[in-house]
Amino acid sequence: MKLCLLSPRFPFPENGGDVLRINSIARYLKSKGNELILISFCFGEIKLKKEYFELYDTIYIVKKHKISSYIFAFLFALVQKPIQCGYYFSGSFLRQFRRTLKNENPDECVAHLLRMVPYFEKTRVQKKSIVEMTDALSKTYSLSRASKQKSFKKIVYNFELGLIKKYERHVIKTFPKVVLVSQNDIDYLKKYTGLPCTNLCCYTNGVNCLENPSKNYDRNKICFVGNMRTLQNQDAVLFFMKEIFPIVKRHNPNAKFYIVGAEPSEQIKSLADGKSIFVTGFIENLEGAISDSCVAVAPVRIAAGIQNKVLVAMGCGVPVVMSPLISAAIPELSDGKNCIIKDSAADIAESVVRLMSDESYRNSIAENGYRTVKENYSWNKKLDGYEDIERN
């Protein structure tokens, strides 16, 4: 088959969970012998490289302009559609998609994230389209209210919540296949929409495990992995820094915290002191940057779906201390066996300290976690049947 994928962000380099997700879907589809067409926005200039065409047979790039994005965001809000859908709407992108439909005649289309769905509605290709929603956005936006962080982004989240709920319901009623990464998110959408939701499908995230995780690690190194432009990751890091790390430092003065992820805000950058706190920004070899960590932390308080940061760390043989909000989306996880699941700052700190001081305990959690991910979360296994659409 020939498939056309619409992406709001150019998926190279793979510097975040969103681009890792769409490229992993593309790799699965490619492995099945499909021909792939990518239409993507870009920010600034992009030089197409040979390796990009090893995954996507055809690539069309549309430059995104902020002024028009703001105008469309305002216009979409006026007609009660999500602001983010307007922000990612472009006449140039729509024209390119129309040309592709006419000239290439793809068998199926995939919209990566809810914000790309309006292009399907404008071209009336709903019946042969898959909406890669990934997460229940309304759930993430609702949970953002739990954050004490004050920011313009949070204000926008609160304003947009109603629009997102309305649009999610519309998409579920309209499209033959809507994909999410967590059964918890599907259950959430069923409950609040009151719809049968028989077209909602769960294809969870996978991970590429290291073949032979190193037994050598830095006993003092703690890492957090995540794209730092998102509110939930910023909140998790600030929560760790303010309420957890000081407790850890009292027990282990040599403890070091590495914040690993692309696009850290100025607030996050300002945390770095070059002694015990390090902000790396985007790193090409993520596994190499975290595999020597004693422990990875994921004290996320705002989340939906499966957080790839957990799977990646476990696939590198690093034990993870995470919040119940994350563990709920991964049914194979068991507290004290293949990971540590704690909620309060004191309990998280105590768990981190124990992992740093008890080598046998640390290695047991790490090995069980690695085995869990390797056995259950290969990408091809989790994405099997992704391209199948039941057409009415």
pLDDT score of 149 more than 80? no
Q: What is the reported pLDDT for 71?
A: 97
Tokens 């990751």 -> residue:
233
383 in a domain, yes or no? no
Alpha carbons 46 and 84: distance in angstroms, whole number: 23
Q: What is the reported pLDDT for 384?
A: 96
- Residues 228, 261: contact at Cβ < 8 Å? yes
Do residue 201 and residue 257 come from a single domain? no
Whole-angstrom CA distances from 389 to 119, 127, 136, 332, 385 are 19, 9, 20, 28, 9
Residue type, position 343, single letter: D
* pLDDT tens-place string over residues 249-288: 999 999 999 999 999 999 999 999 999 999 999 988 888 8
Name residues whose C-beta falls within 8 Å of residue 198's C-beta, 6 or more positions apart in sequence: none
Alpha carbons 313 and 216: distance in angstroms, whole number: 15
* pLDDT tens-place string over residues 221-253: 999 999 898 888 999 999 999 999 999 999 999
93 in a domain, yes or no? yes
Residue type, position 157, single letter: Y
Whole-angstrom CA distances from 92 to 78, 88, 97, 178, 250 are 22, 11, 9, 26, 56
- Residues 29, 55: contact at Cβ < 8 Å? no
Do residue 149 and residue 247 come from a single domain? no
Phi, psi dihedrals of residue 285, rounded to the nearest 5°: -100, 85
* Phi/psi-derived region of residue 255, left when phi > 0, alpha when psi is between -120 and 50, beta in every other case: beta
Do residue 50 and residue 28 come from a single domain? yes
Q: What is the reported pLDDT for 150?
A: 60
pLDDT score of 146 more than 80? no
Rounded to 10 degrees, the C-alpha dihedral 161/166/170/172 comes to: 50
Do residue 316 and residue 224 come from a single domain? yes
Do residue 288 and residue 347 come from a single domain? yes
Do residue 23 and residue 130 come from a single domain? yes
Which CATH number is 361's domain given?
Answer: 3.40.50.2000
330 in a domain, yes or no? yes
- Pairing mode of beta strands 293-298, 58-63: unpaired
Q: Could you tell me how far CA 239 lies from the centroid of its own chain?
A: 20
211 in a domain, yes or no? no
Do residue 309 and residue 242 come from a single domain? yes
Which of 206, 226, 242 is the last residue in one of the domains? 206
Which of 163, 184, 206 is the last residue in one of the domains? 206
Largest CA distance in the chain: 65
Average pLDDT on 366-376 reads 95
75: domain range?
A: 2-206
Percent of the chain whose pLDDT exceeds 90: 79
Residue type, position 107, single letter: D
Do residue 314 and residue 167 come from a single domain? no
Name residues whose C-beta falls within 8 Å of residue 26's C-beta, 6 or more positions apart in sequence: 5, 11, 36, 38, 55, 56
How large is the angle between the packed helices 308-315 and 17-31, nearest 10 degrees? 70
Phi, psi dihedrals of residue 335, rounded to the nearest 5°: -60, 130
Do residue 194 and residue 236 come from a single domain? no
Do residue 308 and residue 344 come from a single domain? yes
118 in a domain, yes or no? yes
Do residue 157 and residue 29 come from a single domain? yes
Which of 160, 185, 206 is the last residue in one of the domains? 206
Tokens 């563990």 -> residue:
327
Q: What is the reported pLDDT for 147?
A: 56
128 in a domain, yes or no? yes
Cut 0.85: pTM above it = no
What is the overall mean pLDDT for the chain? 93
Tally of structural domains, the chain: 2
Alpha carbons 37 and 60: distance in angstroms, whole number: 8
pLDDT score of 73 more than 90? yes
Alpha carbons 354 and 251: distance in angstroms, whole number: 10
52 in a domain, yes or no? yes
Do residue 202 and residue 226 come from a single domain? no
* pLDDT tens-place string over residues 20-59: 899 999 999 999 999 999 999 998 888 999 999 999 999 9
388 in a domain, yes or no? no
pLDDT score of 148 more than 70? no
